[in-house]
Chains A and B, each alone.
Chain A
């Protein structure tokens, strides 16, 4: 995934203020991951909890979705509509998560565009979260598409 903030493919913003695109709106250092959190999370998804070659517990792949910063949405958004829904995600998994890891999530506004669908006219806000561990290694990059109408 690139860090591009250029105008998205095939989208127009008729009355939307794109000045928010590219802005960082949250940087949070999360509490250390615990083994109990990993096990509890996996108990609801049915994903396996792994063990790496060194015998250390490894969180399931989707566990990175749990890493939310203090702010879920940027403060200075234009008026996008009455309600927002998760429209989808692109996740790049770059490393494992283990108990004891201290993860930092940095979130930016990656994109803002408009399209029409079954629900009518919709505005899409794409928020990018880059998650790194205590060694500065990237663990995941998550692009979340929020749909407003």
Chain B
């Protein structure tokens, strides 16, 4: 449920989604890159990423998007994601504690069902927003 207190069908503007605290390991990032068929040394190791001019191994943007999808899935079980938008505003590194959270910004009741619009944020523990996004979800 989006919040321990609110059933998903009762969610309205201003209700928070769950907050996920995640630290991705280097192995997880590497494994995701392989599973997601994403070639690129930057996702494999610090040394390979540094050869590309990066500070070290980085998390693929697609994995950040997948984490947003996970946030939606855990907050709104059974809901169907219709659209998701993500903007990558800063590099995400493995080993860095991350916080993912979201909030309902709109609720629309249409003939096809109840739609929620949500803002999504992936940020560092210092509150630096690395990935921001929005999602449209059909309850």
> Which A residues have a C-beta under 8 Å from some C-beta of B?
37, 40-41, 43-48, 60-62, 65-66, 68, 83, 85-93
Contacts and interface: CB of A to CB of B under 8 A. Distances in A.
Contact of A46 (B52, B53, B70, B84): B70
A88 B86 contact: yes
B82 interface: yes
A60 B52 contact: no
B87 A87 contact: yes
A122 B4 CA distance: 43
B65 interface: yes
Contacts of A37: 35
Given A62-B62, A83-B53, A89-B61, A45 B85 contact: no
Contacts of B86: 88-89
A62 B69 contact: yes
A119 to B, nearest CB: 10
B83 interface: yes
Contacts of A45: 32, 63, 66-67, 69-70
Interface of B: 28, 31-32, 35-38, 52-53, 60-63, 65-67, 69-70, 72-73, 80-88
A91 B67 contact: no
Nearest to A40: B35
Nearest to B82: A93
Contacts of A62: 62, 65-66, 69
Contacts of B67: 45-46
A23 to B, nearest CB: 23
Contact of A90 (B52, B73, B85): B85
A47 B68 CA distance: 9
Contacts of A68: 37-38
A62 B69 CA distance: 7
A61 B62 CA distance: 12
B36 A41 contact: yes
Nearest to A45: B66
Nearest to A87: B88
Given A62-B65, A86-B60, A91 B37 contact: no
Contacts of B28: 44
B70 A89 contact: no
27 contacts: A40-B35, A41-B36, A43-B31, A44-B28, A44-B36, A44-B63, A44-B66, A45-B66, A47-B66, A47-B70, A61-B72, A61-B73, A61-B81, A62-B62, A62-B66, A65-B62, A65-B65, A65-B66, A66-B35, A66-B36, A66-B37, A86-B61, A86-B62, A87-B88, A89-B61, A89-B84, A92-B83
